[in-house]
Structures are given as C-alpha cells and as structure tokens.
Amino acid sequence: MRFLTFILLIVIWSMQNTLAQDTLTLAFLAPSDTAKNPLKDEKRVIEKSAWENYDYLVVGKIAIAGNKITKRPIILRELDFKEGDTIRVANLEGRFKKNRNQIYNTTLFNDVALKIEGLKNNLVDVLVEVEERWYIFPAPIFEIADRNFNEWWNTHNRDLRRTQYGGFIEVKNFRGRKEKLKLWAQFGYTQKFDIGYDIPYLDKRRRVGMNVFASYANNREIFYQDSLNKQVFFRVGESFMRTRFKTGFGINFRPDIQHNHNWNVAFYRNTIADTVAIINPDYFLNAQTRQHYTQFSYTFTEDKRDIAVYPKSGHFFRANFTQVGLPLLGDNVNITALYANYTQYMPLSKHWFGVINTRAKLSLPLKQPYYNQQGNMGYGSSYLRGYEYDVISGQAFGLLRTAMRYQLFDKKFRNDLIKIRQLRTIPMAVYLKTYAELGYVHDQYYYEYNPLTNTLLGSTGLGVDILTFYDWFFGLEYSLTLQKKHGLFVSFGLNFD
C-alpha cells in the first residue's frame, strides 16, 4: 500500500506514447545499432545458426553491460557457469533461460538478457545485459493497520484512525553489493521505529552473509482475545496498552544458487498494561505483564522457481525450527515450533499453469501465551481465501491449496520520454485463475468460543491477478467457503510461498 499512489501515477504517465515489448525473453538476436557493446574488440552478437551445429561451446569471456551501480561479482554469483566452462549446445537455451531468471530473481533489475558473442570455432563470449531498477526509496508511509485490506474496509468501516503513517528510507542495493539498509519511523495506530542492515556476502566466495536489526513499537489499542473467530480489541483513552522491543542478528549461508540456510537470534522485551492482564490472564500467561526471552530459529530454503515474483514452473520448499524462550537463561516463555511449506508450479501449456501448495505447523507445549500462539491461521500468507475476515487461532494448523492460472496478457511498455532510466520500463501482466483450498486448525483451549477451530475449512472461487511496476501485485477474488459464506476480496500479495 505504501507505493500504490506513486506507482499509479508513474503507470498513467508512462502509458502515453508507449512502445510495447515482449516480456522476460532470452535474447540471441543482434542488438540495435545504437547499443553499446562492453567488449573492447566490439564483437557483434552471433545468431543461433552460427553455433547450433556444434556439440558443445566453451565459454570465453563473460561481459556485463548496464550495471552502472551493481558490482560485477554480484551478477556473476547468480550464474551457474564461469569463464572456461563447457556448455552442451542442446542444453544452451534452457541453461541461459535458467541463469537469466536467477539474475532477475535478485530483484535488482527490470530486465535481463544473455547473448552469445564472438564465436571462434566453438569458443564463445557471453554478454549479460541488465537494466537496473531504482534502489533508493525515501518515501512516506501510509498503510492500514489491520490484517488485510478487506478487514479494514468492511469490518472496521474504512476507519482512518486504523492507519499508520510516517516515513522511511530504504536502499535495496547499497554500495552496489546487494546490501539493504532500512530506516523506519511510523506513527498512527502503531508507533514503530525500525533499523536494519543486511549484508548478503561477507566472504570472497560469496556464500556467507549476516544481518542486524532493532525495533521498538507501542500501541494504544490491541486485540486481547478471539471470540467467534474475530479479534476483540481493547483501548483505554490515550494510554499505551502494549510496548515491544526486539533486537538481534542473523547469519546466512548460501552454498549454491538454489539453497539457503539461515540462523537467527533475537532478544525480546514486551510489556502490557495491568488492565490487559486482568481481562485476559492468558495474554502472557499467569496474569503476567512482562515478557523477556531469547528466540532462536533455523530456516532451510530450496528455491527452484523460474521467476520468484510470479512463478510458472519449478518448486519452493522451506522448513523452519523456532525456539521461543530458553528457560536456562531465565526466560518466562518456552515454546518449540516446527513449520514446513512446499509449493509446486506446473506449466500445463503455453498459457495455462497449475499450482499446488501445502504447509503445516506444530508447536508445543499446547498451553501457550495468547500473544505468542504459534498455530494461528489468518495472518500473513497462512490463510484460506474466503476466510479473510476470520482469525483461527491454535497450536497447530495445516493447509492444502490448489490453483489454475491462465495468462491473459503479458507485455512491457517503455516510455523514453521519462528521464529516469530505472522508471522507463513498465511491465504489465494479467492472469485469470480458479482455486480450491482446504485447511484445519487445532486448538486445545479456546475452541468453545471459536467455531472455526477443530473443524474442516475449505473454499473455492475465481479471480484475477495483475502484476506491474516493481513487482507490485493486485488480486481480485470471489470466494465461496464450506460454511456457505461468500464474498469479493482484494489482496496485494501472493500467499503461496
């Protein structure tokens, strides 16, 4: 929501005098006469007919063009071949397409193309052309505080008091090394101040990285329990009902392009008003008003999707172990949680694509503070379509989701009248979809007041997805649930991975 107004203005301006282009294609054709070739001997791009009769090609030089900010090693890190390697001609197009997608998935570029240059016998040079994005975003914050747009629009009647505003600065390619720097100052419904710094590569082999972060937040209004699968809110004038502080660091190990290991340690200090502990003694358990704990987590990710923003083929797998609180350190929270998520993307024809996603989470012990419950459904990407107005809390959940998508439109528009080169290219893709989903949440303690827990949930429906400028996503869906509820819903993000 933060960039919505900015994006719409750019799109409207750029659609005037545009030139349509094909999207995300692998280039083997010669560049235009005005294109600059980064190779000193100015070799031209070689057409496919010149090298397709060889059994294999040997990679000579790898040149990169268009990277005015991004350092060369950051791009080379995403390639699965290097200078001197041998590539079978029969696999070349698929190999180039895979490597092009890997560079694109860094989200540093609007477009990427790999080209063959300088053929001599079976020795070839490879040209990687990139179009960089805009990396520095000093911008205002204006967003809703509720779980999703539908909750704010209908349940809370578009109440502007439930919005958050402020400003932030985010640098997504700091120093040209894919580093991220974030400074955040937010006011309104939730007052929050964040700082974070992410360094993806610390070593020469570019496999080990780290991040540090700190956050402080407080609220005058909080939800303190669930009733009939709805959040119940509480407020006393202008007094703060909850204050939160966390700080920590993470270590990241990426042994190859498609696998990632992350270890994270964070330190939490949370407090609530005495009144909150009185009306819900289980909020922190035992009517406590303070929490202090260390949280340790390990996450393994295997990402073999073609395009991470809106995949059409490949799969995604993530497993997580989290320990909330360490009693040996005197922490007053102790929860162990296991989580797994798997998604398979299947190209069925030129325009049809299928998706199957399953995820599950288990946490122990079953008696947990309300604030820290780990098996909730209805937050983030763990929800079922059609249940956007519901929160289904518990200690464990499972989801199974399927979808069929039809590519209706996929083009790029370019307006050279825009002086800022990172904003000249506007992609636009439209997909129709149908879906069917099932879910179940187990709750040991509060199910009597929440009828959607400990019961089978499911939905089906139709919708449309729109993707455009800087990976901005908009979804419009009509869903029907097993409980015979139906409605039209809006989403601003994919919920599979």
- Does residue 20 lie within any of the structural domains? no
For the chain, percent helix, then strand, then coil, each to nearest 5? 15, 50, 35
Question: If you write DSSP's letter for every residue of 302-350 in order, what string do you get?
Answer: EE--S-SSS-SSEEEEEEEEEEE--GGGT-S--EEEEEEEEEEEEE-SS
CATH (domain of 52): 3.10.20.310
pTM across the whole model:
0.82
The domain containing residue 69 runs over which residues?
Answer: 31-132
* One domain, residues 124 and 149: no
Q: Which amino acid is at 9?
A: L
* One domain, residues 44 and 171: no
Res 48: pLDDT: 66
Burial class (CB in 10 A: 0-12, 13-18, 19+), 32: exposed
Query: Domains in the chain: how many in total?
Result: 2
- Does residue 459 lie within any of the structural domains? yes
Cis peptide before 281 (omega within 30 of 0): no
- Does residue 7 lie within any of the structural domains? no
Could you give the CA distance from residue 55 to residue 458 in angstroms, rounded to a whole number? 52
* One domain, residues 141 and 112: no
Contact call for residues 438 and 399 (beta carbons, < 8 A): yes
pLDDT in tens, the chain (497 residues): 444 434 433 433 333 333 233 333 333 332 333 334 333 344 456 666 677 778 899 999 999 999 999 999 999 999 999 999 999 988 989 999 999 999 999 999 988 999 988 788 889 999 999 999 888 877 788 888 888 888 888 888 888 888 989 998 999 999 999 999 999 999 988 999 999 999 999 998 899 999 999 999 999 999 999 999 999 999 998 899 999 999 999 999 999 999 999 999 999 999 999 999 999 999 999 999 999 999 999 999 999 999 888 899 999 999 999 999 998 999 999 999 999 999 999 999 999 999 999 999 999 999 999 999 877 888 888 889 999 999 999 999 999 999 999 999 888 887 777 767 767 778 889 999 999 999 999 999 888 889 999 999 999 999 999 998 777 889 999 999 999 999 999 988 777 76
Could you give the CA distance from residue 116 to residue 129 in angstroms, rounded to a whole number? 11
* One domain, residues 247 and 100: no
Phi, psi values for residue 229, rounded to 5°: 60, 30
Could you give the CA distance from residue 454 to residue 443 in angstroms, rounded to a whole number? 6
* One domain, residues 78 and 169: no
* One domain, residues 69 and 38: yes
- Does residue 394 lie within any of the structural domains? yes
Res 442: pLDDT: 95
Res 44: pLDDT: 58
Q: In which region does residue 449 sit, left (phi positive, over 0), alpha (psi from -120 to 50) or beta (all else)?
A: alpha
* One domain, residues 235 and 278: yes
What is the separation of C-alpha 34 from the centre of its chain, rounded to a whole number of angstroms?
37
Q: Which amino acid is at 480?
A: L
Hey, CA dihedral for 476, 478, 483, 485, is it positive or negative?
positive
CATH (domain of 233): 2.40.160.50
